[in-house]
Amino acid sequence: MNDANLDSLVERTVSNAMQQNQNQFLSDMKNVIQNQFERMEERVTNSQREMNDFQLKRLQSLTNESYVFKRKGNEAQFKFNNEVKGRLDLADTCLKDNPEQGSEKALSYISEGINLRTNIDNVVRESGLEDNAENRRLAENMMGYLCLSKSENTRRKYYLAYVKWKHFISGKGHVDMPANPVHIAMYLTYLLDKGASFHVVSGAKYAIKWAHNLNGFPDVTDHVFVNNIVESAKRIAKPKTAKKDPVNSEDLIMLCDKYSDNRELSVVRDLCMTILGFAGKRYLASDFNFTYRYIDDVLSINNSKFADYLSSTYPSELEVKEITETNNSASYLDIMLSYDTDGHMNTSLYDKRDDFNFSITNFPFLSSNIPSSPAYGVFISQLMHYARASTQYTDFVLRARRLSDKLLSQGYVCDRLTSSLRKFYGRYGELVIHYDVPLSRMVDDNLS
């Protein structure tokens, strides 16, 4: 190869290498510039959307406040609903687009709704601290930390429940904070009259408690009226029932396939009742209505066909023993079930330890290191146990009398046992009210 050809080859090689490097450099520059433009466009879009949403909420609130109804009551309710919705929407807008930086704005809107900002400023001023920029900044941060004591969902739930209470009591001409316990009880009664569920009533109580705690006020919800109304809501406030879709044959086939390898009695029982009921043979399914199972104990009441299905329910290797006492009585777990001559079912406490031929020490001695108050509390807890298990007063008093004699032999004082019995009757009277026995007779029957 001559010198001319060699120079030409070197020139082409260098030219190609430079061209390739230039193309790679231009491609990298294009990607960098494109990424920068995309990020800038995203920031501008997010900022513009946040500003538009914020301004839209403000305009909607101004428009809603200017809307006029013919009836003043409707107008007041409309403005109240829009005020609540507006504050929650503003807080939600701040959190949705910028969760980290928007949390402070969201907390600010919620704190204004429960007067937290005003109360914090008043408390700081009354504490004697100098009114300067540093103290105001600390007070602002303190307000944010107080709001963060609950999760975001809990804060939104409590805030919405509290402003409803605020609207109710303001309409009565009274202040919402600090609240009067009687006013709170009246508000909970108002909710129950409207058909509110237990969760709504309980949520209203804890929302008022939350707002008072944040503002440094004592707990006004710890009142006998308030607590008893919340407890009564558990019994009288019925949850809303949702209508279910009807079951078809395909659902039953899928259900049977899912539990085809399961030999649990409860599963087989439910599947059997479902299929028989679907097929129209309800007369057979009704025999298993009172069939229950807990681990290895099975109870089936008034079921003459139970033995016919044992072989298809349990494997042949497992021996199933019947422990029915008589035709009219049987024990299940710690309950003795029996039928009286009128055909009524009665329950009483069943304890296997009663069948032992030796005594068992299962209650504390007063001479031990156990404090006296918890020791006497055992007496009350056992009375509750006996009352829940016994439908007849004779069964209850038999157990209670036996317990009293045992505790007296272990150093307990009769007067304190009598006081504990009176305390049980006063606090848990609903457990023994069906006995229709006065307290004086109960004391005489147990401790005379």
- For residues 94 and 375, the model is more confident at 375
In a domain, 306, yes or no: no
How confident is the model over 65-77, as a mean pLDDT? 54
In a domain, 333, yes or no: no
CA–CA dist 182, 7 (Å, integer): 105
Q: What is the chain's mean pLDDT, rounded? A: 76
In contact, 184 and 205? CB cutoff 8 Å:
yes
In a domain, 60, yes or no: no
Which of these three, 181, 202, 236, is where a domain ends?
236
Count of structural domains, the chain: 2
In a domain, 144, yes or no: yes
In a domain, 437, yes or no: yes
CA–CA dist 306, 366 (Å, integer): 50
In a domain, 6, yes or no: no
In a domain, 247, yes or no: no
Q: What is the CATH number of the domain that holds 180?
A: 1.10.150.130
> Is residue 274 very low, low, confident or very high in pLDDT (cuts 50, 70, 90)?
confident
Of 2-11, 52-61, 436-445, give the lowest mean pLDDT range.
Answer: 52-61
In this predicted model, what pLDDT tens digit does every residue of 175-193 receive, in sequence order? 888 889 889 999 999 988 8
In a domain, 67, yes or no: no
pLDDT at residue 61 tops 60: no
Q: For tokens 């406040």, what's the residue?
A: 65
How confident is the model over 209-233, as a mean pLDDT? 85
> Is residue 91 very low, low, confident or very high in pLDDT (cuts 50, 70, 90)?
low
Confidence (pTM): 0.38
In this predicted model, what pLDDT tens digit does every residue of 377-429 receive, in sequence order? 889 999 999 999 898 898 999 999 989 988 998 889 899 999 999 999 888 88
CA 31 distance to own-chain centroid: 52
Domain range for 443: 356-447
In this predicted model, what pLDDT tens digit does every residue of 146-177 receive, in sequence order? 667 677 778 778 888 888 888 888 888 888 88
The partner residues of 337 in beta bridges, in order of sequence, read: 330, 347
Which of these three, 236, 255, 287, is where a domain ends?
236
Of 162-166, 269-273, 282-286, 363-367, give the lowest mean pLDDT range.
Answer: 282-286
- For residues 124 and 90, the model is more confident at 124
In contact, 188 and 207? CB cutoff 8 Å:
no
Query: 103-124: b or e for each residue (b if 16 or more CB lie within 10 Å)?
Result: bebbbbbbbebbbbeebbeeeb
DSSP 60-79: HHHHHHT---SSHHHHHHHH
Which of these three, 219, 236, 253, is where a domain ends?
236
In this predicted model, what pLDDT tens digit does every residue of 92-130 receive, in sequence order? 555 455 555 545 554 554 555 556 667 667 767 777 777
